[in-house]
Amino acid sequence: MATAESILSFDLVHDKIRSCREVPATVGLYGNFRGGERLRNAISRMMERTFMGVEVDPSHICISSGVTAVLDLFFFATCNPGDGCLIPAPYFPAFDNDMSIRNEVIPIPVQPTDTRTYIPTVHEMEEAVLAAESKGIRARMLLVTNPGNPLGTLYPEATLKELLLWAVKRGLHVLSDEIYANSKFGPSVDEFVSMEKVTKNAVMEGLLSAETAAELVHTAYGMSKDFGMNGFRVGCLHTKNKDLLEFWQNMGMFAAVSNDTQHALAIMLEDENFVDKYVKENNRRLKKSYELLTKSFEAANLRYMPACAAMFCWLDLKSLLTEPTFTAEDNLWKEILDECRIVLTPGQACHYAEPGFFRVCYASMAPASLEIACARLTGFAEKKRRKRKSRDGQLDIDTLRTNH
Protein backbone atom coordinates (compact mmCIF):
# COMPACT_ATOMS: atom_id res chain seq x y z
CA MET A 1 0.00 0.00 0.00
CA ALA A 2 3.04 2.22 -0.51
CA THR A 3 2.84 2.66 -4.28
CA ALA A 4 0.89 5.57 -5.74
CA GLU A 5 -0.85 3.34 -8.21
CA SER A 6 -4.54 2.77 -8.89
CA ILE A 7 -5.77 -0.47 -10.38
CA LEU A 8 -9.39 0.34 -9.64
CA SER A 9 -10.52 1.38 -13.12
CA PHE A 10 -7.87 0.24 -15.57
CA ASP A 11 -10.32 -2.34 -16.94
CA LEU A 12 -12.21 0.57 -18.50
CA VAL A 13 -9.07 2.13 -19.98
CA HIS A 14 -7.75 -1.22 -21.17
CA ASP A 15 -10.96 -1.96 -23.06
CA LYS A 16 -11.02 1.51 -24.54
CA ILE A 17 -7.38 1.68 -25.64
CA ARG A 18 -7.83 -1.53 -27.63
CA SER A 19 -10.22 0.35 -29.88
CA CYS A 20 -7.81 3.29 -30.34
CA ARG A 21 -5.33 1.61 -32.62
CA GLU A 22 -5.87 3.20 -36.00
CA VAL A 23 -2.62 5.14 -35.92
CA PRO A 24 -1.23 6.72 -39.11
CA ALA A 25 1.96 5.49 -40.81
CA THR A 26 3.74 8.69 -39.75
CA VAL A 27 3.92 7.09 -36.31
CA GLY A 28 7.32 5.67 -37.31
CA LEU A 29 8.85 9.06 -38.00
CA TYR A 30 10.49 11.49 -35.63
CA GLY A 31 7.78 13.60 -34.06
CA ASN A 32 7.77 16.87 -32.19
CA PHE A 33 9.97 16.37 -29.12
CA ARG A 34 7.56 18.52 -27.13
CA GLY A 35 4.81 16.01 -27.91
CA GLY A 36 2.79 15.41 -31.06
CA GLU A 37 0.18 17.98 -32.03
CA ARG A 38 -2.67 15.52 -31.82
CA LEU A 39 -1.98 14.43 -28.24
CA ARG A 40 -1.24 18.00 -27.17
CA ASN A 41 -4.62 19.03 -28.57
CA ALA A 42 -6.45 16.14 -26.91
CA ILE A 43 -4.76 16.55 -23.55
CA SER A 44 -5.32 20.33 -23.54
CA ARG A 45 -8.99 19.92 -24.25
CA MET A 46 -9.30 17.28 -21.53
CA MET A 47 -7.46 19.45 -19.00
CA GLU A 48 -9.52 22.55 -19.69
CA ARG A 49 -12.81 20.63 -19.66
CA THR A 50 -12.24 18.44 -16.64
CA PHE A 51 -10.26 20.44 -14.10
CA MET A 52 -8.28 23.49 -15.14
CA GLY A 53 -11.21 25.84 -15.51
CA VAL A 54 -9.34 28.02 -18.00
CA GLU A 55 -8.71 27.72 -21.72
CA VAL A 56 -5.68 25.54 -22.40
CA ASP A 57 -3.63 26.32 -25.50
CA PRO A 58 -1.99 23.14 -26.88
CA SER A 59 1.11 25.19 -27.70
CA HIS A 60 1.64 25.58 -23.94
CA ILE A 61 1.89 21.82 -23.40
CA CYS A 62 5.12 19.79 -23.21
CA ILE A 63 4.77 16.00 -23.12
CA SER A 64 7.48 13.67 -21.80
CA SER A 65 7.79 10.11 -20.53
CA GLY A 66 5.96 10.52 -17.22
CA VAL A 67 5.86 13.38 -14.73
CA THR A 68 9.15 12.03 -13.35
CA ALA A 69 10.81 12.95 -16.64
CA VAL A 70 8.84 16.21 -16.79
CA LEU A 71 10.15 17.26 -13.37
CA ASP A 72 13.69 16.20 -14.20
CA LEU A 73 13.74 18.37 -17.34
CA PHE A 74 11.81 21.18 -15.66
CA PHE A 75 14.26 21.50 -12.78
CA PHE A 76 17.19 21.27 -15.19
CA ALA A 77 15.75 24.19 -17.14
CA THR A 78 14.69 26.43 -14.27
CA CYS A 79 17.21 25.87 -11.48
CA ASN A 80 20.94 25.79 -10.93
CA PRO A 81 22.66 23.10 -8.88
CA GLY A 82 22.38 24.07 -5.23
CA ASP A 83 19.15 26.05 -5.65
CA GLY A 84 16.33 25.22 -3.27
CA CYS A 85 12.73 24.18 -3.86
CA LEU A 86 10.14 24.86 -1.13
CA ILE A 87 7.63 22.06 -0.64
CA PRO A 88 4.87 22.09 1.98
CA ALA A 89 5.33 18.94 4.10
CA PRO A 90 4.31 16.19 4.24
CA TYR A 91 5.02 15.59 0.56
CA PHE A 92 5.48 12.90 -2.11
CA PRO A 93 8.84 11.22 -1.31
CA ALA A 94 9.92 10.83 -4.95
CA PHE A 95 10.12 14.61 -5.45
CA ASP A 96 13.52 14.47 -3.77
CA ASN A 97 14.99 12.22 -6.47
CA ASP A 98 13.21 13.99 -9.30
CA MET A 99 14.86 17.30 -8.49
CA SER A 100 18.13 16.28 -6.91
CA ILE A 101 19.61 13.21 -8.62
CA ARG A 102 20.45 14.86 -11.91
CA ASN A 103 19.93 18.53 -11.11
CA GLU A 104 21.24 18.86 -7.57
CA VAL A 105 18.29 21.02 -6.58
CA ILE A 106 17.75 20.90 -2.82
CA PRO A 107 14.25 20.16 -1.51
CA ILE A 108 13.22 22.41 1.39
CA PRO A 109 10.36 20.80 3.33
CA VAL A 110 8.15 23.43 4.98
CA GLN A 111 6.35 22.14 8.06
CA PRO A 112 2.77 23.26 8.71
CA THR A 113 2.04 25.10 11.94
CA ASP A 114 -1.59 24.08 11.73
CA THR A 115 -1.40 20.31 12.18
CA ARG A 116 -5.16 19.96 11.97
CA THR A 117 -5.52 21.15 8.36
CA TYR A 118 -1.84 21.05 7.31
CA ILE A 119 -2.53 24.18 5.29
CA PRO A 120 0.70 26.10 4.69
CA THR A 121 0.98 29.83 5.23
CA VAL A 122 3.07 32.54 3.66
CA HIS A 123 4.66 33.16 7.02
CA GLU A 124 6.00 29.58 7.15
CA MET A 125 7.28 29.93 3.58
CA GLU A 126 9.06 33.18 4.34
CA GLU A 127 10.71 31.64 7.40
CA ALA A 128 11.81 28.67 5.32
CA VAL A 129 13.36 30.92 2.68
CA LEU A 130 15.34 32.79 5.33
CA ALA A 131 16.43 29.58 7.06
CA ALA A 132 17.61 28.20 3.70
CA GLU A 133 19.45 31.42 2.92
CA SER A 134 21.30 31.19 6.21
CA LYS A 135 22.59 27.82 4.95
CA GLY A 136 23.59 29.33 1.63
CA ILE A 137 20.65 27.85 -0.28
CA ARG A 138 18.80 30.20 -2.58
CA ALA A 139 15.11 29.27 -2.89
CA ARG A 140 14.12 29.32 -6.53
CA MET A 141 10.87 27.39 -6.65
CA LEU A 142 7.67 26.65 -4.76
CA LEU A 143 6.18 23.24 -5.49
CA VAL A 144 2.62 22.56 -4.37
CA THR A 145 0.66 19.36 -4.94
CA ASN A 146 -3.07 19.84 -5.27
CA PRO A 147 -4.96 17.55 -4.71
CA GLY A 148 -2.45 16.58 -2.07
CA ASN A 149 -0.15 13.61 -1.81
CA PRO A 150 0.05 12.13 0.88
CA LEU A 151 -2.92 13.96 2.43
CA GLY A 152 -5.59 13.49 -0.22
CA THR A 153 -6.95 16.96 0.55
CA LEU A 154 -7.46 20.15 -1.47
CA TYR A 155 -5.89 23.55 -0.94
CA PRO A 156 -8.44 26.33 -0.40
CA GLU A 157 -8.44 28.90 -3.18
CA ALA A 158 -7.44 31.64 -0.73
CA THR A 159 -4.33 29.67 0.27
CA LEU A 160 -3.29 29.12 -3.33
CA LYS A 161 -3.76 32.80 -4.09
CA GLU A 162 -1.74 33.84 -1.06
CA LEU A 163 1.10 31.43 -1.88
CA LEU A 164 1.08 32.44 -5.54
CA LEU A 165 1.29 36.17 -4.88
CA TRP A 166 3.96 35.73 -2.24
CA ALA A 167 6.08 33.44 -4.44
CA VAL A 168 5.84 35.63 -7.52
CA LYS A 169 6.70 38.72 -5.50
CA ARG A 170 9.74 36.81 -4.26
CA GLY A 171 10.66 35.98 -7.88
CA LEU A 172 10.12 32.26 -7.31
CA HIS A 173 8.80 29.86 -9.92
CA VAL A 174 5.56 28.17 -8.89
CA LEU A 175 4.99 24.58 -9.96
CA SER A 176 1.58 23.15 -9.23
CA ASP A 177 1.48 19.37 -9.41
CA GLU A 178 -2.15 18.59 -10.25
CA ILE A 179 -1.69 14.96 -11.26
CA TYR A 180 -4.67 13.91 -9.08
CA ALA A 181 -6.97 16.66 -10.35
CA ASN A 182 -9.50 14.20 -11.77
CA SER A 183 -9.53 12.01 -8.65
CA LYS A 184 -12.00 13.80 -6.38
CA PHE A 185 -14.80 12.06 -4.56
CA GLY A 186 -15.39 13.78 -1.24
CA PRO A 187 -18.01 16.36 -0.30
CA SER A 188 -15.60 19.25 -0.91
CA VAL A 189 -14.87 18.26 -4.51
CA ASP A 190 -16.02 21.59 -5.90
CA GLU A 191 -13.41 23.36 -3.88
CA PHE A 192 -10.66 22.26 -6.26
CA VAL A 193 -9.22 25.25 -8.10
CA SER A 194 -6.29 24.92 -10.46
CA MET A 195 -3.29 27.19 -10.04
CA GLU A 196 -3.85 28.46 -13.58
CA LYS A 197 -7.36 29.55 -12.60
CA VAL A 198 -6.07 31.25 -9.46
CA THR A 199 -3.41 32.94 -11.57
CA LYS A 200 -5.91 34.09 -14.17
CA ASN A 201 -8.10 35.60 -11.47
CA ALA A 202 -5.14 37.34 -9.86
CA VAL A 203 -4.15 38.82 -13.21
CA MET A 204 -7.71 40.01 -13.81
CA GLU A 205 -7.75 41.61 -10.37
CA GLY A 206 -4.55 43.45 -11.27
CA LEU A 207 -2.56 41.71 -8.52
CA LEU A 208 -0.10 40.18 -10.95
CA SER A 209 1.06 41.02 -14.46
CA ALA A 210 0.25 38.55 -17.22
CA GLU A 211 3.93 38.57 -18.25
CA THR A 212 5.20 37.62 -14.80
CA ALA A 213 2.54 34.95 -14.48
CA ALA A 214 3.51 33.50 -17.87
CA GLU A 215 7.14 33.40 -16.84
CA LEU A 216 6.73 31.89 -13.38
CA VAL A 217 3.60 29.75 -13.12
CA HIS A 218 3.62 26.13 -14.35
CA THR A 219 1.44 23.05 -13.91
CA ALA A 220 2.34 19.36 -14.07
CA TYR A 221 -0.21 16.75 -15.08
CA GLY A 222 -0.06 13.14 -16.25
CA MET A 223 -2.06 10.09 -17.22
CA SER A 224 -0.56 7.88 -14.51
CA LYS A 225 -2.87 8.45 -11.58
CA ASP A 226 -6.34 9.60 -12.67
CA PHE A 227 -6.31 7.13 -15.55
CA GLY A 228 -4.33 4.39 -13.80
CA MET A 229 -1.75 4.49 -16.59
CA ASN A 230 1.58 4.55 -14.72
CA GLY A 231 2.93 2.02 -17.21
CA PHE A 232 2.26 4.28 -20.20
CA ARG A 233 4.74 6.93 -18.99
CA VAL A 234 2.91 10.03 -20.16
CA GLY A 235 3.32 13.27 -18.25
CA CYS A 236 3.03 16.87 -19.29
CA LEU A 237 3.91 20.37 -18.29
CA HIS A 238 1.63 23.33 -18.90
CA THR A 239 3.59 26.55 -19.14
CA LYS A 240 3.43 29.87 -20.95
CA ASN A 241 7.13 30.48 -20.38
CA LYS A 242 8.61 30.92 -23.87
CA ASP A 243 12.15 29.94 -22.91
CA LEU A 244 10.89 26.77 -21.31
CA LEU A 245 8.75 25.88 -24.33
CA GLU A 246 11.72 26.40 -26.62
CA PHE A 247 13.95 24.39 -24.29
CA TRP A 248 11.54 21.46 -24.43
CA GLN A 249 11.46 21.52 -28.21
CA ASN A 250 15.05 20.29 -28.11
CA MET A 251 15.54 18.74 -24.70
CA GLY A 252 12.34 16.72 -24.93
CA MET A 253 14.38 14.30 -27.05
CA PHE A 254 15.89 12.87 -23.87
CA ALA A 255 12.53 11.55 -22.63
CA ALA A 256 10.09 11.43 -25.52
CA VAL A 257 6.92 9.34 -25.58
CA SER A 258 6.37 6.74 -28.30
CA ASN A 259 4.25 8.24 -31.09
CA ASP A 260 2.35 4.99 -31.06
CA THR A 261 1.26 5.48 -27.46
CA GLN A 262 0.64 9.17 -28.13
CA HIS A 263 -1.81 8.41 -30.92
CA ALA A 264 -3.68 5.77 -28.95
CA LEU A 265 -4.02 8.15 -26.00
CA ALA A 266 -5.11 11.02 -28.21
CA ILE A 267 -7.83 8.89 -29.77
CA MET A 268 -8.97 7.88 -26.28
CA LEU A 269 -9.03 11.43 -24.93
CA GLU A 270 -10.79 12.78 -28.02
CA ASP A 271 -13.78 10.68 -26.96
CA GLU A 272 -15.12 13.16 -24.42
CA ASN A 273 -18.04 10.95 -23.58
CA PHE A 274 -15.64 8.18 -22.57
CA VAL A 275 -13.52 10.56 -20.50
CA ASP A 276 -16.49 11.96 -18.59
CA LYS A 277 -17.96 8.54 -17.88
CA TYR A 278 -14.57 7.17 -16.91
CA VAL A 279 -13.76 9.99 -14.48
CA LYS A 280 -17.17 9.65 -12.84
CA GLU A 281 -16.91 5.88 -12.49
CA ASN A 282 -13.31 6.03 -11.27
CA ASN A 283 -14.28 8.49 -8.56
CA ARG A 284 -17.16 6.26 -7.52
CA ARG A 285 -14.69 3.40 -7.12
CA LEU A 286 -12.13 5.54 -5.30
CA LYS A 287 -14.85 6.68 -2.91
CA LYS A 288 -15.96 3.12 -2.27
CA SER A 289 -12.42 2.00 -1.41
CA TYR A 290 -11.78 5.11 0.66
CA GLU A 291 -14.93 4.48 2.67
CA LEU A 292 -14.11 0.82 3.15
CA LEU A 293 -10.70 1.85 4.50
CA THR A 294 -11.82 4.67 6.75
CA LYS A 295 -14.81 2.79 8.18
CA SER A 296 -12.44 0.03 9.20
CA PHE A 297 -10.08 2.61 10.74
CA GLU A 298 -12.97 4.17 12.64
CA ALA A 299 -14.21 0.83 13.91
CA ALA A 300 -10.72 0.22 15.28
CA ASN A 301 -10.40 3.71 16.72
CA LEU A 302 -7.52 4.58 14.40
CA ARG A 303 -7.15 8.29 13.73
CA TYR A 304 -6.74 9.57 10.18
CA MET A 305 -6.96 12.81 8.25
CA PRO A 306 -10.23 12.94 6.28
CA ALA A 307 -9.52 13.01 2.53
CA CYS A 308 -11.65 13.89 -0.48
CA ALA A 309 -9.27 13.34 -3.39
CA ALA A 310 -6.27 11.42 -4.78
CA MET A 311 -5.76 7.84 -3.52
CA PHE A 312 -4.24 8.26 -0.08
CA CYS A 313 -5.17 8.35 3.55
CA TRP A 314 -2.87 9.91 6.16
CA LEU A 315 -2.96 7.57 9.12
CA ASP A 316 -2.04 8.67 12.62
CA LEU A 317 -0.41 5.78 14.51
CA LYS A 318 1.32 7.94 17.11
CA SER A 319 -0.48 6.03 19.84
CA LEU A 320 1.32 2.84 18.76
CA LEU A 321 4.83 4.29 18.96
CA THR A 322 6.98 3.19 21.89
CA GLU A 323 8.36 6.73 21.98
CA PRO A 324 7.87 9.84 19.82
CA THR A 325 10.93 9.28 17.58
CA PHE A 326 11.59 8.30 13.99
CA THR A 327 13.40 5.22 15.23
CA ALA A 328 10.14 4.14 16.83
CA GLU A 329 8.27 5.03 13.61
CA ASP A 330 10.72 2.94 11.64
CA ASN A 331 10.30 0.02 14.06
CA LEU A 332 6.54 0.26 13.78
CA TRP A 333 6.83 0.32 9.97
CA LYS A 334 8.90 -2.88 10.12
CA GLU A 335 6.46 -4.55 12.51
CA ILE A 336 3.57 -3.78 10.16
CA LEU A 337 5.58 -5.19 7.27
CA ASP A 338 6.53 -8.35 9.19
CA GLU A 339 3.21 -9.04 10.88
CA CYS A 340 0.72 -7.78 8.28
CA ARG A 341 2.81 -8.11 5.10
CA ILE A 342 1.74 -4.55 4.36
CA VAL A 343 4.11 -1.85 3.14
CA LEU A 344 3.11 1.66 4.18
CA THR A 345 4.93 4.90 3.44
CA PRO A 346 6.32 6.29 6.70
CA GLY A 347 5.75 9.97 7.45
CA GLN A 348 9.49 10.53 7.68
CA ALA A 349 9.85 9.58 4.00
CA CYS A 350 7.25 12.29 3.33
CA HIS A 351 9.47 14.70 5.31
CA TYR A 352 6.87 15.23 7.99
CA ALA A 353 8.42 16.47 11.23
CA GLU A 354 6.28 14.60 13.76
CA PRO A 355 6.86 10.83 14.04
CA GLY A 356 4.01 8.32 13.88
CA PHE A 357 2.19 9.06 10.63
CA PHE A 358 1.86 6.81 7.58
CA ARG A 359 0.57 7.24 4.05
CA VAL A 360 -1.85 4.49 3.02
CA CYS A 361 -2.61 4.00 -0.67
CA TYR A 362 -5.96 2.24 -0.92
CA ALA A 363 -6.29 2.11 -4.72
CA SER A 364 -3.46 -0.27 -5.53
CA MET A 365 -5.62 -3.32 -4.81
CA ALA A 366 -9.17 -4.50 -5.41
CA PRO A 367 -11.72 -3.82 -2.61
CA ALA A 368 -11.72 -7.51 -1.61
CA SER A 369 -7.96 -7.41 -0.97
CA LEU A 370 -8.31 -4.04 0.70
CA GLU A 371 -10.74 -5.57 3.18
CA ILE A 372 -8.17 -8.21 4.10
CA ALA A 373 -5.44 -5.59 4.42
CA CYS A 374 -7.66 -3.45 6.65
CA ALA A 375 -8.48 -6.42 8.85
CA ARG A 376 -4.78 -7.21 9.27
CA LEU A 377 -3.85 -3.62 9.97
CA THR A 378 -6.61 -2.95 12.49
CA GLY A 379 -6.05 -6.37 14.07
CA PHE A 380 -2.37 -5.50 14.44
CA ALA A 381 -3.22 -2.14 16.04
CA GLU A 382 -5.64 -3.73 18.49
CA LYS A 383 -3.15 -6.42 19.49
CA LYS A 384 -0.51 -3.77 19.95
CA ARG A 385 -2.81 -1.75 22.19
CA ARG A 386 -3.77 -4.78 24.28
CA LYS A 387 -0.11 -5.67 24.73
CA ARG A 388 0.72 -2.16 25.76
CA LYS A 389 -2.20 -2.06 28.17
CA SER A 390 -1.18 -5.29 29.82
CA ARG A 391 2.47 -4.17 29.86
CA ASP A 392 1.43 -0.80 31.26
CA GLY A 393 -0.67 -2.71 33.83
CA GLN A 394 2.39 -4.79 34.62
CA LEU A 395 4.42 -1.61 34.95
CA ASP A 396 1.82 -0.15 37.29
CA ILE A 397 2.03 -3.24 39.49
CA ASP A 398 5.84 -3.10 39.35
CA THR A 399 5.71 0.56 40.27
CA LEU A 400 3.40 -0.22 43.15
CA ARG A 401 5.71 -2.99 44.32
CA THR A 402 8.74 -0.75 44.13
CA ASN A 403 7.00 2.03 45.92
CA HIS A 404 5.80 -0.17 48.69
- Which residue, 11 or 281, is less far from a second copy as judged by CB? 11
Q: If DSSP codes are grouped into helix, strand and coil, which group holds residue 218?
A: strand
First-to-last C-alpha distance (Å) of the chain: 49
Nearest distance from residue 1's CB to a second copy, in Å? 14
Residue 205 DSSP code: T
Strands (E), 191-239: 217-222, 235-239
- Which residue, 39 or 160, is less far from a second copy as judged by CB? 39
Nearest distance from residue 71's CB to a second copy, in Å? 9
- Which residue, 63 or 381, is less far from a second copy as judged by CB? 63
β-bridge pairing 84-88 and 106-110: parallel
**Are the CB atoms for 48 and 134 separated by under 8 Å?**
no
Nearest distance from residue 97's CB to a second copy, in Å? 8
Nearest distance from residue 149's CB to a second copy, in Å? 16
Nearest distance from residue 35's CB to a second copy, in Å? 12
- Which residue, 259 or 283, is less far from a second copy as judged by CB? 259
- Which residue, 68 or 194, is less far from a second copy as judged by CB? 68
Nearest distance from residue 262's CB to a second copy, in Å? 9
Closest CA to 286 of 365, 223, 343: 365
139, β-bridge pairs: 84
- Which residue, 230 or 294, is less far from a second copy as judged by CB? 230
The DSSP line for 104-163 is -PEEEEE--S-TTT----HHHHHHHHHHHHHTTPPEEEEEEESS-TTT-----HHHHHHH
**Are the CB atoms for 248 and 237 separated by under 8 Å?**
yes
- Provide the binding-site residues for a second copy, judged by CB under 8 A: 3, 5, 7, 10-11, 13-14, 17-18, 21, 25-31, 65-66, 68-69, 72, 76, 101-102, 228-234, 251, 253-261, 264
